[in-house]
Amino acid sequence: MADDNLYEVWGDTVDSRHLLAAIAVGAVCSLGAFFLAEHLLTGWVESTQMARAYAMLLGILGSLLGGGVSACLFKPKRHVVEHVTDPAWRLQVIEELRAEYGGIGQLADLPPEVRNELRELGLEQLFDNAEPATREMPRHAAPALKGGAA
Amino acid sequence: MDALFDQILIAALMGVIGAVVFSAIGLISGSDETTTLAPLTLLVVLLGVPAAGVFTFFLAGAVAKHMTHAVPTALLGIPGDTMATPLMREANFLRNLGVPHIALRKMISGAVIAALVAVPLAVLFAVLLAPFGDAIKQGAPWVFLAAAVTIAYFSAGRWASVLALLPFVLVIIALQTLTGQHGVKLSVSYFLGIAIGPLIAALFAMLAPAERARMKRSEPRTFSLSPDVKGWGGWFPNPLKVLDRRQAGWTLATATVSSATFVFSPVAMTVILGEVVGARIKHAYHRLTSVISVRNGVTESTYIAEALIPLIAFGLPLSPVAAGPAAPLFNAPPRFTVDAATGQVNNLHNLLSAGEFLAFGMLAVLIAILIAYPFSMNFAHRAASFVSRRISHEAVIATFVGLILVIGLWEGGLLGLLVILTIGLLGGFLYRFIGFNIGVQFMGYYTAVLSVPAIVALFA
């Protein structure tokens, strides 16, 4: 897979040559199914309108077939890696949460069921260290007060 | 008695089909609700499926999709669809903490609880609003105009969107006049053009050298797939045990509130109600898990209410969901119609009673839960891995291009295709550059069809 044809289209990366070919496959399958069905059914089904509705259904199935063929022909342009949690990432999340929410909160404030959940996930220690029970005031209290006075 | 039994059987069958199809679609990132729910529901309508079956197909599909969309959102860090975007922040925090399975379970459990309460509440609100139905139908053209302007103002584009309504509506009227001269009357083509606009705009941009250079990427995107840890026995974990009592309570409360506010954008409601709950919870972890449960609950309840309330009370598509993904329940000529001049409607509103909406609505929700909930609880990791490794984006685009070609040719031949292309390109660029979103574009279509004739009559 040459990387010099990669583009971001509609939210994901594609290879422009594969995209062109996939569109051609999609068009051929869907239109082929639609016209063929229309041609065969018009004589068969009494009402022309119903014949056309069934032709549309088959055309849509044809476009799904086109999608399936394209999926077989062209592999996704994605690197999928199995995610391993890095302890550094966890600490980074704690810092981002502190910045966003203005504090992490005390474990003691949590209902017992939530504490159990944290313990089972092995996250209790992390959150306890983030805001130890001994600290009296959260860090953000001072600026918040100043803002209120001004 | 046999007729009733047949009706229930068809409704259940269509509900199962909707739930299975949309459980699968929910796994594919970027499969927007409008681009998938609207055309498939339309197909079901036009194939002549009985009213109850059309309704259960749509509702079971929407409910199932908003459960399985949690899989890519939680495990891959990419939004499953438009409604999943407000969940990304919390989902990514939990993913980086190494507990994506918690994000997933909280999201789908919130969805189950919210979906179950939303149907009876939506029917109740609809019945309360129904007495005003006649007045609203009489003034329908003006109500649509007001709704279009309001929804435009609350879109990302603000005043730009309000002003962009003018040329957008004008283009639709011009196209209708043109196709009318050739004896072609289109509606589905407009819906599809609007829904698929962003794709059409992106494909055109690919052909322009400057835009093409901007879309160039040096390497494939990297997705990190999180492990999934199963923490229960059996197939069907109790959602009330997955959420703690406060979370269940908040989910119920926000589902109730969002069932009543059916005229606002569902994404906006999801964001706002999540913030309201988040501000009341001190501990960061509890806040993350509560906000994510509540938000995914709201994605279900707003969708259900926004489709059901206008449908039951008025029969007119007067909400962003009703005008977009649920549009074929209201307007799918020749079978379902909304008449501009008289405010007369002939659609599911006339075909089902409030009691039937309640019964079939609950049936659809239960079917969706029975299929999508155990599926996403038990197979999330395998499903996310399959989709990200096997289904290329080229294949997704190829499928949609095929869909455009078939629907366009089926409805209006070459003219139908050209209308999809024109509306898609215009709408797609307006969305991309000024935030004139799909919901506003649908309201623009209704303004052209319903309000403009009344305005013209006023000046005639």
Per-residue pLDDT of B367-377, as tens digits, reads 999 999 999 88
Higher model confidence: residue B287 or residue B317?
Answer: B287
Mutate to test the interface with B, among A114, A125, A131 (most CBs of B within 10 A): A114
Taking the C-alpha atoms of residue B173 and residue A66, their distance in angstroms, rounded to an integer, is 34
Count up the domains in chain B and report the number: 1
> In this structure, which amino acid lies at residue B117?
V
Closest CA to B433 of B425, B421, B422: B425
Which of A11, A50, A56 is closest, CB to CB, to B43? Answer: A56
Other beta carbons within 10 Å of A109: 12
The pLDDT tens digits for A32-87 are 999 999 999 887 777 777 788 888 889 989 998 999 999 999 999 988 887 676 77
- Which position has the token pair 């549309």? A56
Say how many CB pairs under 8 Å bridge A and B. Answer: 246
Complex-level ipTM beyond the 0.85 threshold: no
**Contact residues on chain A for B394, CB-CB shorter than 8 A:** 14-15, 18-19, 21-22, 70, 74
Task: Examine residue B225 and state whether it is found in any structural domain, yes or no.
Answer: no
Distance between CA atoms of B178 and B275, rounded to whole angstroms?
48
**Is residue B60 included in any domain, yes or no?**
yes
Q: Is residue B324 part of a domain?
A: yes
* Overall pTM > 0.80: yes
On whether residue B82 sits in a domain, the answer given is yes
Domain assignment present for residue B221? The answer is no
pLDDT at residue B39, rounded to an integer: 81
Which of B212, B285, B400 is opposite residue A123, by nearest beta carbon? B285
Which band of pLDDT confidence, cut at 50, 70 and 90, is reported for residue B138?
Answer: confident
Question: Model confidence at A140, in pLDDT bands (50, 70, 90)?
Answer: very low
Residue B217 belongs to some domain of the structure = no
How far is B198 from B32, CA to CA, in rounded Å? 11
Check B410 against A59: CB less than 8 A apart: yes
Strands (E), B200-296: 221-225
Alpha carbon dihedral B330, B147, B420, B208, in 10-degree steps, equals -150
Looking at chain B, which residue has its C-alpha nearest residue A7? B216
Domain of B205, in residue numbers = 2-211+233-459
- Å between A79 CA and nearest CA of chain B: 4
Rounded Cα distance, B409 and B403, in Å: 10
CB contact under 8 A, B227 and A71: no
pLDDT at B340: 61
Rounded Cα distance between A79 and A73, Å, is 18
B226 domain-assigned: no
In a domain, B368, yes or no: yes
* C-alpha–C-alpha distance, residues B230 and B245, integer Å: 21
| Mutant choice from A36, A60, A86, A100 vs B, greatest count of B C-beta within 10 A | A60
Residue B297 contacts residue B255 (beta carbons within 8 Å): yes
Indicate the burial class of B307 (C-beta count within 10 angstroms; 0-12, 13-18, 19 or more).
Answer: buried
